[in-house]
Chains A and B, each alone.
Chain A
């Protein structure tokens, strides 16, 4: 959803994205999603609904999974952001991604970056989640293709392979 920003002038905002310190000029109320995609060119973060329902725009902000469409960039000032492009630095991500590939966790792929971040975040908190915990942990990320079960299997398998270590 396109937000009309305030007419006020842009701010200089510094944040750390995927391990790199960056400074952007942005309207205070500009969405973190737009700054990540347009100013920083990190197109792996997707917009699905623009209202915090679908989770496609999920990023990790100071270690917390957030919908970047709901974060005004000023709120992200001085924070540490990890997007799908930087998630490999987290050792559990490649295991999760590989399991998604093998178990059919990605179909059209548009929810996949957010889903993978959500899965990594879940495994960080709960290294060996039960099926119920996975279902609950991923319920903020909508997928219209898979019916989720193959995603859940992939996360379970990633946990078994030690993604959490």
Chain B
């Protein structure tokens, strides 16, 4: 009976909704789908980073009559991948701006014939000078994008930074860098498109954001919304890597389908996926911080720069999140953050779990360690003295309204990791032997949902439907790609209605069927979409009560009967909920002031490592991940999000280096781009604090991205602790450690400087 306050479903480990299909191999991904008469598509890409196309020739060894060939001339609508700016062509017509730029599309019914055909197309170019680093881009020796190679600049200005330098007892400077990182979802990108004159265009694919693809296809094909349909298939991992690029692949499959009149499937192989699709933005952060005698931050400047690659894509938004997180969970009475995203002739960098925050938080957390060294405080104490407290304001002037006690979180993490004892033990052990041990810490936060007014602009809609058979169905465009979207949203609906979890179903995200609940990104699903599902579910109950079919208290069976009766009498019952921004969330986009996020999740992570000075390899021996994420909706899934994020961040810190050559990824293979295996990872010990949050369903906040932010700085701090060397960039591979120890590395102490005021 409902009316009992205790939650029965939220907070319990119900079975993953689509789990049975996954463990039996029955789950259907896009490559598992075959349509009658289907062709296979492939992409001819540029081989130079920048230039003009002079001539395209088709080699005589191929019978081209058998192939469908699409060029930019075949595009019915606008030749762009519509997103924020319409600068990225779907197929290059004249100019080439990066070495994986798509130029032509080919399709054939025998996919084995495609690689040779792609090879047989030769493109002659008039090459132009290209730029590959942020510094080259800033020098403007070549202008490759817009007026000044700059996609976006952001200024966050709080208090009076000019005035802090003379009050400072210490001024601490440092520069920090992070590299590109490949999402490396195990299912490569893929799409199928089919065009039927009656229905219009349909695509099925591996994707996070059905309505992003929908919008891009409408612009590309010049079709009205009702003539474009996007269906998300089971998606084998995404991590942001299937946020924007699927629009490109869908566009390509659609063009081939339109021209051939047959369904077309495009599945990337691993090399094409790694080389051509988006990766995490490389970053450079410069800190200059004024610190008091007792280690309090008085103020500082932060210059945060990211490499966006050749086109604008999502760089402005990644930059925004990175800039807002650049001050971390600390109180800055005065700060000026100058952030900018610049263009280079590499394939566009894009969304990846954390979305700019892992970059700026890496820099800040390393810098906090540097400040600690200068002030001669411990890394623990410097953090404790500067933690944000409720009522204080963040760098954007947002007052901390949650009752967070970071000092207590820190204490608990120290205890869980046995920090002090380990610190002493390692110092003792490190006097001898070739294996050096160290321990490091990071404290950080992550904002849930779209930044600033983003959620208001998205204006997400969800529906909950009462079905003929008495069950309930959740209709959202929020995609499942491993995180547990389906499971938690069904839990929320079941809880809200007093039903069993089994009574709730999840509609396949299909733009013809489901409303636009926004993209599946930004740690927004549990908090924002979850809350809307809760509201829409309650709407169903209200309707059933108003129609006299349901009493104040009811059993699950009574609810089913009421649904059946209602649908029989009145037809389909759908309840809709639309996002409305709470009045206390006010954001000034122009000044970058106000409430950047409805809620933050908070964390303290501690890593213990061993560095073997024979091989210079680092192994993480222990990892404590303590976080406050609001209500934990599902303990097993939540833990899985944290462990998975930490694992990915261990890769970011210690293993994963993209090797670039003139804008092209040289190691676009799993053989030489190394991600962690089951043999590489430490015990990752996950702990939650739960503090209610009014903005999310049953008090939930964001969880997906948070664990990507903290592990890299904690681990690099631990490596530094072990070797008594300060490292300021990642990835930190054995060769980098070797170079640093041998004294010739760029990734060592020398980059920073500090002075004490006389």
Contacts and interface: CB of A to CB of B under 8 A. Distances in A.
Contacts of B483: 107
B678 A151 contact: yes
A91 to B, nearest CB: 16
Given A101-B16, A147-B684, A108 B481 contact: yes
Contacts of B640: 104, 107, 145-147, 150
A149 B642 CA distance: 11
Contacts of A116: 23
Interface residues of A, number: 57
Contacts of A138: 678
Interface string B665-705: 00001110001111101011000000000000000000000
B643 interface: yes
A45 B185 CA distance: 16
Nearest to A5: B112
Nearest to A3: B112
Contact of B25 (A44, A48, A53, A142): A44
A73 interface: no
Contacts of A44: 24-26
Contacts of B484: 107
A84 B24 contact: yes
A150 B186 contact: no
A35 to B, nearest CB: 13
Contacts of A3: 112
B669 A110 contact: no
A50 B22 contact: no
A102 interface: yes
Contacts, number: 175
Contacts of A1: 269-271
A5 B239 CA distance: 34
Contact of B32 (A43, A106, A145): A43
Given A144-B675, A145-B640, A147-B681, A110 B236 contact: yes
B669 A49 contact: yes
Nearest to A98: B23
B482 interface: yes
A145 B239 CA distance: 9
B21 interface: yes
Interface string A121-165: 000000000000011101111111111111110000000000000
B24 A97 contact: yes
Contacts of A97: 23-24
Nearest to A45: B25
Pick from A4, A103, A106, A113 the residue with the most CB of B within 10 Å: A106
A109 interface: yes
Nearest to A1: B269
A1 B31 CA distance: 13
Given A46-B29, A108-B235, A51 B669 contact: yes
Nearest to A88: B24
Contacts of B684: 147, 149
Given A46-B187, A97-B23, A116-B23, A54 B670 contact: yes
Nearest to B643: A147
B624 to A, nearest CB: 14
Contacts of A84: 24-25
B678 A139 contact: yes
B24 A56 contact: no
A111 B632 CA distance: 26
Given A107-B483, A147-B681, A101 B23 contact: yes
Contacts of B671: 51, 53
A2 interface: yes
Nearest to B651: A144
Interface string B230-243: 00001111110000
Interface in B358-409: none
A101 B183 CA distance: 25
A142 B483 CA distance: 17
A111 B184 CA distance: 12
Contacts of B111: 2
Pick from A50, A103, A146, A149 the residue with the most CB of B within 10 Å: A149
B643 A146 contact: yes
Contacts of B724: none
B591 interface: no
Contacts of A108: 22, 185-187, 235-238, 481-482
A56 B678 contact: no
B670 A142 contact: yes
Contacts of B677: 139-140, 142, 148
Interface in B1-22: 13, 15-16, 18-22
B639 interface: yes
Contact of A149 (B27, B270, B643, B670): B643
A143 B648 CA distance: 10
B186 A110 contact: yes
15 contacts: A3-B112, A4-B116, A44-B25, A46-B236, A51-B270, A51-B670, A101-B15, A104-B640, A107-B483, A108-B186, A108-B187, A111-B186, A144-B183, A144-B644, A148-B643
Interface of A: 1-5, 37, 42-51, 53-54, 56, 83-85, 88, 97, 100-113, 116, 134-136, 138-152
Which 8 A-B residue pairs are closest in the complex by CB-CB distance?
A44-B25, A110-B236, A147-B647, A109-B22, A108-B482, A84-B25, A107-B482, A53-B670
Given A112-B25, A135-B679, A136-B678, 5 more contacts: A43-B25, A83-B25, A103-B636, A104-B636, A109-B22
